[in-house]
Amino acid sequence: MESLLTGSRVYGTPTDESDIDVVCLMSHDEFHALLAMADNPDCETRPASGKASQSLRFGKLNLICVTPNEYDKFTAWKDGTAHLKSIAPVTREAAVEHFKSRGV
């Protein structure tokens, strides 16, 4: 499994209320194992089903799950995060638009 930290804690201005966003490249089996433990078990049953990624919540931890057949999405998160970090601080709205333009 590969992972990277993203979100306001990397390129924004986090507050005490901010969650911790981690993008994880994982197998479908790993996703299903984590899904069983997530705070949002009613989410879709597979990552990236019609979406760029699937988010699993564990309190303030937000795992953004991407599977190996969509490695390009993981790369887009990685490159996008690096870019936003280089121009930090970035607002949430600007970050959302940046990632939308990258297809994630």
78 membership: H or E segment, kind and range = helix 71-86
Residue 10: count other Cβ atoms within 10 Å of its Cβ: 18
Nearest CA to 33 out of 4, 61, 65, 5 is that of 65
CB atoms < 10 A from the CB of 44, how many?
Answer: 12
38-59 pLDDT, tens digit per residue, is 998 666 554 444 454 689 999 9
Q: What is the pTM of this model?
A: 0.87
CB burial of 63-88 (b: ≥16 within 10 Å; e: otherwise) equals bbbbbeebeebbebbeebbeebeeee
At 55-82, the pLDDT tens digits run 999 999 999 999 898 899 999 999 999 9
Alpha-carbon gap, residue 26 to 46, rounded angstroms: 11
